[in-house]
């Protein structure tokens, strides 16, 4: 399957396990998707401002922490540069990035 342009390559296998493990199987978005995540404080592990979506309740994916990363960048990304994302946050972050990219093109910067 060929990913659409602008969509970061998703990481699978062992790398996915390590990234998800580092994230405590919880989405690492802290607002990159454009939403303000407010902590409910219901668990001791809750981190203020971070998305509350966790595996296995949500299917989390491993993708570059910077959603603007290209497919090439993503495939070379070090494990530290990968974050666990829930699909809705990743989608929002990519949309935001693409929208910003369009603005740059319009301004003649990109
Ligand atoms: Zn999320
Ligand atoms: Zn988010």
Residue spans of the chain under pLDDT 70: 1-10, 39-48, 69-75, 103-110
> Tokens 């497919």 — which residue?
71
Phi/psi at 84 (5° precision): -85, 130
How remote is the CA of residue 30 from the centroid of ligand 2, in Å? 6
How remote is the CA of residue 53 from the centroid of ligand 1, in Å? 5
Distance CA 39, CA 45 (A): 10
How remote is the CA of residue 85 from the centroid of ligand 1, in Å? 6
Condensed to tens digits (0 to 9), the pLDDT of residues 23-55 reads 999 999 999 999 989 765 455 455 568 999 999
> What pLDDT is stored for residue 88 in this prediction?
93
pTM check: above 0.75: no
């Amino acid at each position: 399957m060929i990913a659409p342009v602008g969509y970061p390559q998703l990481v699978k296998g062992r790398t996915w396990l390590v990234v998800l493990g580092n994230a405590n199987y919880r989405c690492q978005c802290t607002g990159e998707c454009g939403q303000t995540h407010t902590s409910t404080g219901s668990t001791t592990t809750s981190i203020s401002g971070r998305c509350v979506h966790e595996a296995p309740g949500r299917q989390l994916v491993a993708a570059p922490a910077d959603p603007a990363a290209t497919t090439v960048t993503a495939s070379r990304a070090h494990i530290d540069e990968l974050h666990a994302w829930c699909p809705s946050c990743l989608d929002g972050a990519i949309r935001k990035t693409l929208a910003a990219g369009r603005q740059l093109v319009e301004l003649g910067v990109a």
